[in-house]
Amino acid sequence: MSSSRGGNGRGGGEGERQIHVLAVDDSSVDRAMIARILRSAKYRVTTVDSGKKALELLGLEPDVNMIITDYWMPEMTGYELLKRVKESSELREIPVVIMSSENVPNRINRCLAEGAEDFLLKPVRPSDVSRLCSRIR
């Protein structure tokens, strides 16, 4: 798990709190990519490698403004994580974005129906993220 908490800390240039994104992906390559994309867009990022760790973190730190998660992970899929978040009274307001390397319409629809904010196809690009985050602000 890594966090840029020590660096810029809170507060963007305008005195606003920095948006904190929790990125969940079991692939170390994809974690590095999504973290870099988010950080270069000036978001504070915490990465974890499983849904279980994501829920642990969310239980401790409710200052997460957005969750971006891979769909296909061992043990707990991104869809299952999405459901758990949306079922929780403390967490349900947090937007959840699903990422997947596979373009499966049923999967996409199920996630959106369950309350996902958006569904991104991998490999994710900076333009996907800026489009997303401007809607979430």
Partner 1 sequence: MLPLCSRVLLSHPFSPMSLMALREQLNMLVNSMYIEGLLDQQFQQLQMLQDASSPGFVAEVINLFCEDAERILTELTKDQAVVDFQKVDAYVHQLKGSSSSVGAQNVKLACIQFRQFCEENNKDGCLNALNVVKHHYYLLRNKFDTMLQLEQRIQAYDSKQQN
End-to-end CA separation in angstroms for the chain: 25
Cβ 125 to partner 1, closest distance in Å?
6
Q: How far apart are CA 23 and CA 32, in angstroms?
A: 10
Where in 68-107 is the site for partner 1 (CB under 8 A)?
72, 74, 101
To the nearest whole angstrom, how small is the minimum distance from the Cβ of residue 2 to partner 1? 12
Helix ranges (H only) for 1-118 are 28-40, 51-60, 78-87, 105-113
State yes or no: residue 4 binds partner 1 (CB under 8 A): no
Decide if residue 40 touches partner 1 (CB under 8 A). Answer: yes
123 lies in the site for partner 1, by CB under 8 A: yes
Q: Which of 8, 9, 10, 36 binds partner 1 (CB under 8 A)?
A: 36
CA 92, 96, 97 angle in degrees (round to 5)?
A: 165
- Amino acid occupying residue 28: S
Note whether 32 binds partner 1 by CB under 8 A: yes
- Cis before 123? omega within 30: yes
Q: Which residues form the interface with partner 1 (CB under 8 A)? A: 27-30, 32-33, 36-37, 39-40, 72, 74, 101, 122-123, 125-126
